Structure 1
């Protein structure tokens, strides 16, 4: 296992590739997180579109540079719409990210829809420890959208699941772990107040999609998204409360320069 941070050349290289491309990223996410997800992408120079208007799932899903699907979008759209977007991305060879929000929290019909998306081979899957343990077939014990497990506890599940699925699995926690089943990267740092900003975890999925759009190394690109998040949060740590922290976090994302 190796560590990756903003100070490493690999993280800066992948972030620079995003900045150069300015990718169009199409997302299906919940209305709670949509604004922050869009603002995170705008802060780093990407161009987001969010929602299931008319034929967006089939057209944007196939023709965007990257796609992310936050399963809690089922609050406001139907299962076939998110399956259409996932299918379009898969068939169009567009990298896409699955965030299985609240899977394993005791809603079997909802869980079944999320699991059905695995058919379309997500490039990366990100979530908290309880969600990813549940997705991998364990007992995650999630309480709604909150985890009761740690990223360290999730890591063995992630490694076997990523290898089996041919995907990159990324878990957030005090230490973030990103693995493809054979290689694992740890990302440390950040600020605990990210857990107190509505949609911050969901918005990380949008940034991962942006990083994958023009990635040189997909595993490092997913890890670099976590490193970018961590350094922006650290630089916002002087904020007085969670409201000003959220604003400063976006400010520092927008100011990050891979050549600094």
Structure 2
């Protein structure tokens, strides 16, 4: 077992050494599953009535503040889209669900603690570990390659000339986040703020798994005329980081 590290102990960006997946085969799989039709990516829009709308509603502040374009309606948006490969454990769908959204740091911590009276299973990423029918072929191979508990997995489409806003998700001691770029270009970047300094890095579509320190303030930008597609894998545990190599990044103020 690898010792669990916090956001302060981990780099801004990194990649997993000695692990590569064939991007051309992943693209063929996406095509066969109609996953290159980005109109299908509606899992973070409440109007889509997807099972994921519960997660969107319980994180309404984040959705409205960071992920949708300003002109879009509440809990909607077209320029940042996702389609999920995992879903909420069905046992929680039959229980009364608290879908209230409170973005204070203390409230977020309480709702993720199973020992708290404020525990909210819909907000807890650890409960999004039920694979759906999209987990087949290489997607299944990729997820089966981890010894850590896989939680929320989704394909994320970032529209041309759009950036999501800076935000903080979860400390890596709770959720470790890896990105597998599938369609990208050099004008697509991940950004992280550490000690009030902004850094950025590009994740190429070279088959590698890239680490993002989502416990730090971060955002994604696409300053190109082409859409960007990443497979985002969240997991509980850090065995995947035993071969983590820090990725070179640029201090934005020094560009």
Q: TM-score range by the shorter chain?
A: 0.3 to 0.5
Q: Which has the higher strand share?
A: 2
TM-score where L is the length of structure 2: 0.32
Q: Which structure features the higher share of helix residues?
A: 1
Q: Which has the higher contact order (CA 8 A, sep 6+)?
A: 2
